[in-house]
Structures are given as structure tokens and as C-alpha cells.
């Protein structure tokens, strides 16, 4: 029994470290001043990478583009998805399964294919009709993403529509509502939660899409494509800072949603009247999702402000000085060793032309060929400075 | 009132003029021809699948007749949508709007007609008073009991001030006591508002107790239209005789007819009974004899069956006695005479007679148990 719980605990620990370990490590690297994202060696606590992130013009421009494209995709994909779901619910079963397959197909087609075909199709159309102004990254990305994102929205709506009682619409019509009124006053309020989730899902799908977007965005870039190209050129901890921001936003959203769900459940289940938590006006107010959200935002806002005021330059300068000192030390060591070698071998200066010099000397005295110009920092940097060398350069 | 101009009395009649409704090869309603009078409580009674709901949807405008015309208040309703007809439908499962409060539900018909919020609330409160549920306007629909939902649905339908109120088995989801209570209440509301009620049901108890007139339907055909006692006492077809109430049926051959009475020869003997529907038979015609269980009198020797009692079912006020006459099992209803009376014992021989006027001879046709 005891051994079982021990094993279970260990397994749970291993499982959660596997899940969340990378996130914790990445979040930690965002606060290390080291130029390469790492936890050890720890140099200085810094919030500078957040500033670096927001100072990256290419990323910020991509973020702006992503927002524009995301809004456009949501505005078009949600109505299209709703229309598709409604159409499916009205059709006879045989036709329905056929149309369903057709509408779902874009999800199954690789994004690369969708991206390329979007460019080809709209290139032809815009050239053919003289609507060349449409051939730009924003428009193409929106239409390219809509082809599959609206199918996601449709799936959300289909699930909700299955629980809709069609006689509600009939009742509304019978009571004198026009079809439009029945749609607005009966069906839409019923679909409201699904519209919310569909908008959220489509926004995320648009935001994080790479495969299709990388083609359709042409010379522009979205946040995701900008990020990808940045990673290709070498990573730095400002990406960890981005990860911290995304994790924080997710946590705030999840906690607020959880508070909302629990309250709703307690109220509809009649548990609210019995729970002491809801009897006390203070705790009742504190568990309100709005208050929970406000508290989280206040705390994060405070931390952000405190972080923005933190100055790590003294520490960083000290670390830099330490590195320079260490380098100087190494350089001095090197000089001393060379001098000692020269003294040992007398005045027999190695002949650079000698075939043997290259063959034998290479192993024993690696720095020997560079001896004539020992002052060059780059030569020593390459040989001894190792990882610290780039910092000296910049 | 002599000074009342004719147009102040709204015509709330419904005329079904040779209405047929088909779905592909299937005929849901076959040549229905019938007038429902203004202010009448009219029921369509029939087993499930007999076409009565299709008929109702046709009157309310959710489907159009394949043939024939529907006239409401003398006006042809062809091409008039459900939201434009002077009808209101109460759905089987009521179809109250769960996201709205009770008052919002009731005032919905006014909302879509652009009535101001204040006037809507006033009307909703009036209607809540009428259905004897004052002060529940702000409740959610889910907080109501079954009977309350029922009455809210009626109030919502009446908010339109319809000429015709159509009810699609609205009591079927309620328990027995509540159902009986709602019957009385529906009837009272109908008397109060004077609207024509068209009521759909498979429950003959509901149809017979509430209605001014009943139409019995089977397989898309209206078998008989009439007042409840006519339907029960003077069935015009084998289906009506077997569907409405209990009945004993015997097949035989006509020996002769004189006026309203005819003699039918069966394997158990020859019986005299009234001819249903004023039909004329020739000797040798095949026919069915129907005798109600309560019309069979033990001990009577005229026009009688000789039977052996097989089993009994006790049901409080009545005792259902089953007796075998030849190959036929007869059903007899006996009033519980209490402790002072006595019941025949098992295996006892009985003579079961009936008055010729209380038996009905009808042509051979499909019966309720066939469908």
C-alpha cells in the first residue's frame, strides 16, 4: 500500500515534470541575463529580455499583422462556419454526410497545399480581373486561412446545434416572428456560447498558423512567421520572455474561466445556497469571476511595473568585468607559458618553412604559429575565450 | 345584441376543403373535408401516425396541403406563413424559450410585433392572472413545474389573441391527476376566451370529456365526426367502434334487415342489432357486430350469448369479467355492487344478453388493433 502510493507519487511527479518542466526552464531563462537561453550558469536576474522583445521591430510588426489578420479571419470564418452548420442541419441525411465531408476536407489537406493553391488561384483571379490591389499578404492570408479555419468554427456550431430544439424556431414563427426575428431572438442567443468559443478557436488557429501563412503572407510577416525566421537565425532569451507572457495570459484566462464555471455550476446545482463560501458576502464577492480576474490583473500589473523598474546593469557590468578579468588572466597565462617555452628551447625559433614544423609542432605548441603577433585579441579569443568571446566582441 | 355589426364578431371557423397531404408516395391526410365552427372545442382523435399532427401543421401553416384548401375565417390560407395566420400552436413539448423569463416568454409575440416593453409587461401580468399564476413573471422557465409550464404555454399562445388555438397533445407529458385537472382548466379557459380550440390527442378520455365535437382519424382518413356521445354510441365504422372505448366484435353474415335493425348470423347464434350509419344490407353480406362490455347483461336470455366465465380483473368501481362463448372471448363490465352484491365465480356458465338498440352492425373494415 505504502509502496504503491510512493510509486504513484513518483510517477505523478515524473509525469508533471515531463509536461511542465520545459515550460518552467524556459520561463526561468527569460530572467537570466546570459545571452544564450540557459539556467546555469546563472549570471544576473534581469527583466531586460522583455524590453528586447518589445524592441524587436520585426516581431512587433508581425504581431500587428497577426492581429489584423486574426480579426479578419474571425469576422469571416465564424459566420461562414455558422452558415455551414445551419445548412447541414437542414439537409436530408444522405446529402448532409456528403456536404459534411466536403466542408471538413480543408482540415485534412496539408496547410502547405492550401497556401500554395491560394497564391496560385488568387494570383490568376487578381491578374485576370485587374484587381491587383487584392494581391497582398493580408488579403491572401485571410482567404487562405478561412478555407480551413471556418471548418473548425463549423464543428463547434454543429455540436451546439445538435442540442437545439427545432420546435423553438417553429414556436417563434407561429407566435408571429419573422424568420429573421426567430433567428435573432431564439437561435442566436442559444448559439451565443458557441459563437464565443468559435471566435476564440478561430483566432488562435489564425494566430498560430504557419504552414499556410508562410506562403500566403508574401513579403509581409505575421508574428508566427517572424518568430520562425528569428529562431532560424539563432535564439535568445527574448523568446523565453514571450513564452512567459503567453503562459501568464493562458493562466489568467484559465483561472477566470474556472471561477466562472464553478460559480455557474454551484448556482445551477443549488449548491450555492448551502455553501458557506457563498453565505459570507466577502468570500462570495472574492470568488466572483470578475473580481478574480481583476485581482489577477492587478497582481500581474504590479509585478510588471516592479520588473520594469528593476535595473540589472550594475550586475551585468560586474559580470562583464569579471569575464574581461578572466580573459586578461588567461591571456597573461598564455604569455607566461610561451615565454617559458621559448626560454626552454633557447633561441631556436621554429622555422615557418620547415615541413616538420607543421607536422610536429602543431600538436605540442598550438599557439606557436601565432606567436609573432600575440597581441591579437581575436586569435586568443578563438583559442581560449571560448564561449565568453562573443560577449567581448559586442 | 342587435346593434352589433357583423364584422365585430370575428369569424373563427376553419374549413378544410378536400385537403390531402402527401409526402412522396405516403398519404398522411386523405381528402379531409370538414368545417370547424367558430368558438368550438374540436378534437382530432386517433392513434399515433394517423395524420392528425400533419393536419394540425397544415392548419397552422408549417406545411401546405398537396391538394385542397384550408380556409380560416373564410379566407384561403394558401401561401400564408405560420407567422401571418391567426393561429397559435401549443407544441407537444411546449417549446417554451429556456433563455427567457416567464414574462418574456408570454410577451414574445408582442415583442416581435414591436409593442413597448411596458405594455408587454402589463399584458404578460394580465395573462398570468388569467392562468392563476400571478407574480411568477420573473422566474426562469426551468423553475416551473409541469402544470405551470403548461399554463404558461397557453398564456403565451393567447398573448397573440389568436382566432384559433391549436394544441398538439399538450397534456401527454403530465401525470394522471394533473392531466385530469388540466382538462377542466383548458375547457374553462376556452369558455372564457371564446377562441376556437383544435385539440390533437390519442387519448380518448381527453377528447370525449373536453370536446364539443370529435373527429376520429385513422390512416389519414377522417372516419367520423360528431359529438362525443355520438362517437361512442353510434360508431359509423369498425375502426371507430373498436378504437373509442372497449368493444366486443363478432363477425357474421346478414340474414335480413328491417328498418334500423338487422339480424346477423354468427357461429354462436343469430343476433339482432341496430344498423350503424343507416346502411342497407342484403342477406348474405358479411358484417361485424359490436356490443359494448357494459351493455352485456348477465342473466338476460333474449339476444344472448351462452358463455363460461374465465377470469376477472378488478378495477375499483368496475369489474372486468371475461367469458368464453365458442371461440370468442367476451368482455363484460360490471359495476362493483360492494359487499352487499355478489360476483359470479370462475367456471360458471352465464347467459349474456343485450338490447338490440345497444348493439351495432357495421361493415367489415380495419380495426384499432390492426393499425
Cell of A222: 505575421
pLDDT in tens, B231-289: 999 999 999 999 998 899 999 999 988 888 899 988 888 898 999 888 888 888 899 99
pLDDT in tens, B348-358: 888 888 998 89
Where are the domain boundaries for CATH 2.40.50.140 in chain B?
238-370
Give the nearest chain A residue to B61 (CA atoms): A174
Given this model, what pLDDT does residue A361 score? 44
From the list B91, B92, B364, the residue with the least C-alpha distance to B237 is B364
Q: Which of A154-163, A206-215, B298-307 has the lowest mean pLDDT?
A: B298-307
Q: Which fold has domain B238-370?
A: OB fold (Dihydrolipoamide Acetyltransferase, E2P) (2.40.50)
pLDDT in tens, B5-45: 445 568 888 999 999 999 888 888 998 899 999 989 999 99
Is some CB atom of chain B closer than 8 A to the CB atom of A190? yes
CA distance B226 to chain A (A): 29
CA distance B105 to chain A (A): 10
Give B270-316 as a DSSP string.
EEEEEEGGG----TT-EEEEEE-GGG-EET--TTEEEEEEEEEEEET
Check if the beta carbon of residue B94 is closer than 8 Å to that of residue A167: no
Greatest mean pLDDT range, A182-191, A269-278, B168-177: A182-191
Q: Which of A173, A185, A186 sits opposite B83 (nearest CB)?
A: A173
Give B45-92 as a DSSP string.
E--TTSSHHHHHHHHHTSS--SEEEEEETTEE-TT--GGGSSEEEE-T
Greatest mean pLDDT range, A82-86, A126-130, A265-269, A270-274: A82-86
Q: How far apart are CA B306 and CA B291, in angstroms?
A: 15
CATH superfamily for A54-236 is: MetI-like (1.10.3720.10)
Check if the beta carbon of residue B150 is closer than 8 Å to that of residue B173: no
Where are the domain boundaries for CATH 1.10.3720.10 in chain A?
54-236
C-alpha distances (whole Å) from B161 to each of B33, B79, B128 are 27, 22, 15
C-alpha distances (whole Å) from A122 to each of A68, A79, A236 are 20, 22, 37
Average pLDDT value for residue range A241-270: 85
Report the alpha-carbon angle B12-B16-B18, nearest 5: 165
On average, the pLDDT of chain B sits at: 87
C-alpha distances (whole Å) from B84 to each of B64, B114, B196 are 14, 15, 17
Q: How far apart are CA A349 and CA B114, in angstroms?
A: 107
From the list A25, A27, A30, the residue with the least C-alpha distance to A45 is A30
Burial class (CB in 10 A: 0-12, 13-18, 19+), B192: exposed
Given this model, what pLDDT does residue B8 score? 57
Given this model, what pLDDT does residue A350 score? 52
pLDDT in tens, A53-79: 888 888 889 999 999 999 999 999 999
**Phi then psi dihedrals of residue B68, to 5 deg:** 85, -175
Q: How far apart are CA B283 and CA B273, in angstroms?
A: 15
Q: B213-218 and B41-45: which strand pairing?
A: parallel
CB atoms inside a 10 Å sphere around CB B350: 19
- Residue B215's pLDDT band, with cuts at 50, 70 and 90, is very high
Where are the domain boundaries for CATH 3.40.50.300 in chain B?
9-233
Cβ contact (<8 Å) for A172 and B87? no
Give the nearest chain A residue to B95 (CA atoms): A168
Given this model, what pLDDT does residue B24 score? 86
Contacts of B94 (CB under 8 A, 6+ apart): B149, B150, B153, B170
Average pLDDT value for residue range A278-305: 86
User: b/e map of B122-136 (b: 16 or more CB within 10 Å)?
Assistant: ebbbebbebbebeeb
Cis status, amide bond into B56, omega within 30 of 0: no
pLDDT in tens, B113-136: 888 889 899 888 888 888 888 888
pLDDT of residue B193 exceeding 60, the answer is yes
Q: Which of A164, A171, A178, A181 to mutate to test the interface with B (most CBs of B within 10 A)?
A: A171
Residue corresponding to grid cell 350469448: B305
Report the alpha-carbon angle B138-B141-B147, nearest 5: 110
What 3-state class would DSSP assign to B13?
A: coil
Q: How far apart are CA A387 and CA B9, in angstroms?
A: 101
Given this model, what pLDDT does residue A217 score? 86
Residue corresponding to grid cell 442566436: A188
Q: How far apart are CA A24 and CA B177, in angstroms?
A: 65
Given this model, what pLDDT does residue A4 score? 83
CA distance B149 to chain A (A): 15
A185 chain-B contacts, CB cut-off 8 A: 108, 111-112
Residue B370 carries which DSSP code? Answer: G
Give the nearest chain B residue to A192 (CA atoms): B99
Is some CB atom of chain B closer than 8 A to the CB atom of A166? no
Cβ contact (<8 Å) for B91 and A186? no
Q: How far apart are CA B351 and CA B329, in angstroms?
A: 14
Given this model, what pLDDT does residue B183 score? 87
pLDDT in tens, A347-380: 555 555 544 544 444 444 444 444 444 444 444 4
Given this model, what pLDDT does residue B150 score? 86
User: b/e map of A61-86 (b: 16 or more CB within 10 Å)?
Assistant: ebbebbeebbebbbebbbebbbebbb
Given this model, what pLDDT does residue A262 score? 84
Length of chain B: 371
Q: Which of A160, A164, A174, A179 to mutate to test the interface with B (most CBs of B within 10 A)?
A: A174
Q: Which of B82, B100, B141, B153 to mutate to test the interface with A (most CBs of A within 10 A)?
A: B82
**Phi then psi dihedrals of residue A164, to 5 deg:** -85, 135
**How large is the ipTM?**
0.78
From the list B55, B89, B52, the residue with the least C-alpha distance to B70 is B55
pLDDT in tens, A159-173: 999 889 888 998 999
Is some CB atom of chain B closer than 8 A to the CB atom of A325? no
Q: Which fold has domain B9-233?
A: Rossmann fold (3.40.50)
Give the nearest chain B residue to A180 (CA atoms): B112
Residue corresponding to grid cell 503562459: A247
From the list B79, B51, B49, B65, the residue with the least C-alpha distance to B15 is B65
Check if the beta carbon of residue A156 is closer than 8 Å to that of residue A201: yes
Amino acid at each position: 500500500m505504502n509502496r504503491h502510493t510512493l510509486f504513484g507519487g513518483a510517477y505523478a511527479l515524473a509525469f508533471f515534470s515531463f509536461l511542465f518542466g520545459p515550460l518552467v526552464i524556459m520561463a526561468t531563462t527569460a530572467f537570466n541575463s546570459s545571452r544564450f537561453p540557459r539556467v546555469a550558469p546563472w549570471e544576473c536576474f534581469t527583466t531586460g529580455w522583455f524590453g528586447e522583445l518589445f524592441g524587436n521591430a520585426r516581431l512587433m510588426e508581425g504581431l500587428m499583422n497577426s492581429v489584423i489578420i486574426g480579426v479578419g479571419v474571425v469576422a469571416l470564418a465564424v459566420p461562414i462556419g455558422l452558415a455551414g452548420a445551419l445548412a447541414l442541419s437542414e439537409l436530408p441525411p444522405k446529402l448532409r454526410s456528403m456536404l459534411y465531408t466536403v466542408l471538413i476536407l480543408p482540415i485534412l489537406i496539408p496547410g502547405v497545399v492550401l497556401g500554395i493553391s491560394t497564391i496560385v488561384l488568387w494570383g490568376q483571379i487578381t491578374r485576370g480581373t485587374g484587381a491587383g490591389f487584392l494581391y497582398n499578404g493580408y488579403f491572401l492570408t485571410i482567404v487562405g486561412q478561412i478555407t480551413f479555419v471556418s471548418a473548425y468554427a463549423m464543428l463547434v456550431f454543429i455540436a451546439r446545434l445538435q442540442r437545439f430544439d427545432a420546435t423553438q424556431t417553429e414556436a417563434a414563427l407561429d407566435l408571429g416572428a419573422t424568420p429573421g426575428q426567430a433567428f435573432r431572438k431564439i437561435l442566436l442567443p442559444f448559439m451565443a456560447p458557441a459563437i464565443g468559443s468559435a471566435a476564440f478557436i478561430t483566432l488562435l488557429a489564425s494566430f498560430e498558423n504557419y504552414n499556410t501563412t508562410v506562403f500566403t503572407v508574401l513579403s509581409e510577416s505575421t508574428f508566427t512567421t517572424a518568430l520562425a525566421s528569428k529562431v532560424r537565425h539563432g535564439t535568445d532569451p527574448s523568446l523565453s520572455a514571450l513564452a512567459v507572457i503567453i503562459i501568464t495570459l493562458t493562466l489568467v484566462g484559465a483561472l477566470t474561466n474556472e471561477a466562472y464555471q464553478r460559480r455557474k455550476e454551484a448556482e445551477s446545482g443549488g449548491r450555492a445556497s448551502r455553501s458557506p463560501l457563498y453565505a459570507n458576502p466577502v468570500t462570495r464577492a472574492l470568488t466572483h469571476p470578475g473580481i478574480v480576474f481583476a485581482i489577477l490583473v492587478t497582481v500581474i500589473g504590479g509585478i510588471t511595473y516592479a520588473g520594469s523598474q528593476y535595473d540589472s546593469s550594475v550586475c551585468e557590468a560586474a559580470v562583464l568585468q569579471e569575464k574581461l578579468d578572466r580573459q586578461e588572466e588567461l591571456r597573461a597565462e598564455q604569455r607566461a607559458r610561451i615565454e617559458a617555452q621559448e626560454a626552454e628551447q633557447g633561441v631556436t625559433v621554429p622555422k615557418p618553412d620547415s615541413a616538420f614544423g607543421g607536422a610536429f609542432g602543431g600538436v605540442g605548441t598550438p599557439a606557436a604559429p601565432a606567436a609573432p603577433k600575440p597581441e591579437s585579441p581575436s586569435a586568443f579569443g578563438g583559442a581560449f575565450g571560448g564561449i565568453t568571446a562573443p560577449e567581448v566582441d559586442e | 345584441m342587435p346593434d352589433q355589426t357583423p364584422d365585430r364578431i370575428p369569424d373563427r371557423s376553419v374549413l378544410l376543403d378536400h385537403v390531402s397531404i402527401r409526402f412522396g408516395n405516403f398519404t398522411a391526410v386523405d381528402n379531409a373535408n370538414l368545417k370547424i365552427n367558430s368558438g368550438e372545442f374540436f378534437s382530432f382523435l386517433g392513434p399515433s401516425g394517423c395524420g392528425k399532427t400533419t393536419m394540425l401543421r397544415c392548419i397552422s401553416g408549417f406545411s401546405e396541403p398537396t391538394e385542397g384548401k384550408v380556409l380560416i375565417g373564410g379566407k384561403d390560407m394558401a401561401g400564408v406563413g405560420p407567422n401571418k395566420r391567426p393561429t397559435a400552436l401549443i407544441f407537444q413539448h411546449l417549446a417554451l424559450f429556456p433563455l427567457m423569463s416567464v414574462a418574456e416568454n408570454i410577451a414574445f409575440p408582442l415583442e416581435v410585433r414591436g409593442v413597448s416593453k411596458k405594455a408587454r409587461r402589463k399584458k404578460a401580468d394580465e395573462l398570468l392572472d388569467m392562468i392563476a399564476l400571478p407574480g411568477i413573471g420573473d422566474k426562469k422557465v426551468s423553475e416551473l413545474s409541469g402544470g405551470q409550464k403548461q399554463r404558461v404555454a397557453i398564456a403565451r399562445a393567447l398573448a397573440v389573441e389568436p382566432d384559433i388555438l391549436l394544441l398538439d397533445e399538450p397534456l401527454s407529458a403530465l401525470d394522471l391527476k394533473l392531466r385530469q385537472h388540466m382538462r377542466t382548466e383548458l375547457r374553462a379557459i376556452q369558455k372564457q376566451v371564446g377562441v376556437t380550440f383544435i385539440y390533437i390527442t390519442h387519448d380518448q378520455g381527453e377528447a370525449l370529456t373536453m370536446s364539443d365535437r370529435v373527429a376520429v382519424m385513422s390512416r389519414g382518413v377522417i372516419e367520423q365526426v360528431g359529438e362525443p356521445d355520438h362517437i361512442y354510441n353510434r360508431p359509423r365504422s369498425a375502426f371507430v367502434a373498436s378504437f373509442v372505448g372497449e368493444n366486443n366484435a363478432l363477425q357474421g353474415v346478414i340474414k335480413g334487415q328491417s328498418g334500423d335493425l338487422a339480424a346477423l348470423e354468427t357461429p354462436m347464434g343469430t343476433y339482432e342489432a341496430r344498423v350503424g350509419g343507416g346502411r342497407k344490407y342484403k342477406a348474405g353480406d358479411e358484417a361485424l357486430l359490436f356490443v359494448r362490455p357494459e351493455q352485456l347483461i348477465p342473466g338476460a336470455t333474449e339476444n344472448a350469448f351462452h358463455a363460461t366465465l374465465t377470469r376477472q380483473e378488478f378495477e375499483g368501481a368496475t369489474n372486468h369479467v371475461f367469458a368464453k362463448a365458442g371461440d370468442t372471448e367476451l368482455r363484460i363490465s360490471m359495476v362493483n355492487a360492494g359487499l352487499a352484491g355478489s360476483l359470479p365465480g370462475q367456471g360458471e356458465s352465464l347467459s349474456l344478453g343485450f338490447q338490440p338498440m345497444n348493439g351495432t352492425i357495421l361493415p367489415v373494415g380495419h380495426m384499432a388493433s390492426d393499425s
